[in-house]
Amino acid sequence: MLILISDSFDPSLPGRLEPFGEVTHDKNRVGEATVVLIRSKTKCDRAYLDAAPNLKLIIRGGVGLDNVDLEYAKARGVTVTNTPQASSVAVAELAMALMLAACSHVVEGHNGLKRGEWLKKQLKRTELFQKTLGLVGAGRIATEVGRRAAAFGMTVIAYDPYVSSSDVATMTSLDDLLARSDYLSLHTPLTDETRGMVNQEFLAKTKSGVIIVNTGRGKCVDENAMASALENGHVACYATDVYTSDPPPDDSPLLTAPRVIMTPHIGASSKENLLRIGDIVVEKIRAFIEA
């Protein structure tokens, strides 16, 4: 059995998988692979699946499965599975880091010093304490963010049409959430319903001066509408880990809009999370072989 490791995993994983079969990183051998391990980079579309006649199992280390053609995989008899429980803490900590970086002007202060500018008077910080955080989506990651935000003294509210109660947030309607939130943190999967959800109409309902953090999916945001709202000052900061494509194209409006903080899709990339993902991958391959 050939196991193809197509994206980045913990360096210990190949050694741990050797008892199960041959392990390769050579993407040209996809045609021989029985198991393919991916994260968000590899796109398992129809052409990819057609090039992999021996494929039986795709394991996506991480949460979203929007980079796999699930319907075609099913039709081809390929099992697709992921490790959704592993990444919540890692992504939630990045969402908190982005929120704190936004209200404390960490990036502007740092860049100023690098340019030889002492921006002490210009950079007026604000606190998370006693502010309202609106979670869009109330799933695993949002719950971890809500828990941490509560420890900072924030009031946490959430909108999720598929969740009626939350341990960490008061559920409310989308309009109420947008009207009340000083911070919005986006945690929805990419679906037909959420694609472009954060558009001009959505942004118009938010508070002036809102800080928006996105560790969900880039395509849930209309980046042109976001850039306009940053340029006209309505949105105080857009802090994002995710883009319409990885990396964002050279003409992405986010690269030139003011007060954007960007990280290169590293929400799930903590060392600890990669180890957790590795543990789950090993167990899933063991179960696949024993089935």
Distance CA 19, CA 186 (A): 40
Distances (CA, A) of 196 to 126, 218, 223: 29, 9, 9
* CB closer to ligand NAD, 10 vs 160: 160
Determine the 3-state secondary structure of 104 from DSSP: coil
Sign of CA pseudo-dihedral 250, 106, 204, 162: positive
The residue at minimum Cβ distance from ligand NAD is: 139
CB of residue 107 to ligand NAD, shortest distance in Å? 18
CB of 60 to ligand NAD, least distance (A): 10
Supply the minimum distance, in Å, between the C-beta of residue 267 and ligand NAD: 3
| Cα–Cα distance list, 237 to 98, 227, 231, 250 (Å) | 10, 10, 10, 21
For ligand NAD, give the closer residue by CB, 136 or 149. 136
CB of 238 to ligand NAD, least distance (A): 14
Query: By C-beta, is 34 or 240 nearer to ligand NAD?
Result: 240
Q: Which is nearer to ligand NAD, 187 or 284 (CB)?
A: 187
Cβ closest to ligand NAD, residue 30 vs residue 144: 144
Closer Cβ to ligand NAD, 198 or 235, answer by number: 198
DSSP H helices in the chain: 13-17, 46-50, 70-75, 88-103, 106-114, 140-151, 174-180, 200-204, 223-231, 271-290
CB atoms < 10 A from the CB of 6, how many? Answer: 20
Instruction: Output the smallest distance, CB 112 to ligand NAD, in A.
Output: 27
Q: In angstroms, give the least distance from the CB of 85 to ligand NAD.
A: 8
Q: Quick one: 34 or 188, whose CB is closer to ligand NAD?
A: 188
Nearest to 204 by CA among 232, 234, 231, 224: 234
What residue ranges bind ligand NAD (CB under 6 A)? Answer: 62-64, 84, 87-88, 91, 136-142, 159-163, 187-191, 193-194, 215-217, 241-242, 265, 267-268
> Min. distance of Cβ 159 from ligand NAD in angstroms?
6
Other beta carbons less than 10 A from residue 252's beta carbon: 19
Strand order in the sheet with 22-24: 22-24, 2-5, 35-38, 57-60, 79-82
Sign of the Cα pseudo-torsion (9, 12, 13, 18, in order): positive
